[in-house]
Amino acid sequence: MNHPMSSEARARVVFLDRSTLPAGTELREFAFPHELVVYGNTPASAVAERIADAEVVITNKVPIGRTALEAAKKLRVIGVAATGFDNIDVDACNEKGVTVSNIRNYATSTVPEHTFALILALRRSLLDYRDSVRAGRWQDSGQFCYFDHPIKDLSGAVLGIVGDGALGQAVGALGRAFGMEVRFSAYKGTRGMGPLYTPFEEIMRSSDIITLHSPLTPSTRNMIGAAEFGLMERRPLLINTARGGLVDETALVDALRSGRISGAGFDVVTVEPPRDDHPFAQARDLPNFILTPHVAWASEQATQTLADQLIENINLAWAGTPRHVVS
């Protein structure tokens, strides 16, 4: 979209799933006359009706497909309140001249910090000790401390990072600050990426902690499965704050139960929320498994940065100078 849109009339802006942002996150005013219609969430069956008269649509996770787009005759801008945009039929948007903008580089503190929260909690058996103190174990021990659960330092441990984008690099910087040996993985199945990268199989084999910061693509889906767990000679921790689907979830539970890994911390699942028959439902009570509800991105600071960027993306698109356009 190359031309600014008329500001004489009030544009209808529809936010399809406001509840996917914390209530305390402020949505600042747009720079153009508008009418804002906010829905907490929107079922797929209601999308076409709710965006039919909209000129601007905001969505985080609600899918917007070709059928709904064809009915939205006035639509000009879609602001995605997230980095991922696989819920949008971008091809159909391009055909209709609808600008789609996403959020970028807003989580470079919150996701790495959550990653290390999971690592530290598992590496130092933090939850086990908290629970045992609550159960009275300290009083029963009769001394100033007790040693029921393993505690391991991060200093000197090998941190294998799969994904070398902004988040992976930020995780690496934190790892170095802890005194860890940081290694970035080459792409699975590739060689010759240069001395800055360690072959994927070697990352699996030699790491004390493996953390994932890759997008989910056909080439990365289930990139860690039974075969990769079989390579993990050092019984590492496996951390995933990136995308559900990077790890074969059934194989992960098997690896936890069999002791092929020493623990896992996940913030993402293939189906969110996971159903009762999901493999992770079998692992929720394992002491070496921590599952958080896709909140690594959701610090107060990061969500406000996201919201501010979202508003500015829409303002710029409305003015005919879009940024962060996806294709």
Positions annotated as catalytic residues are 243, 272, 294
- Determine the Cα–Cα distance for residues 116 and 182; give it in Å rounded to an integer: 14
- Determine the Cα–Cα distance for residues 86 and 62; give it in Å rounded to an integer: 10
Alpha carbon of residue 156 to chain centroid = 28
- Determine the Cα–Cα distance for residues 75 and 96; give it in Å rounded to an integer: 9
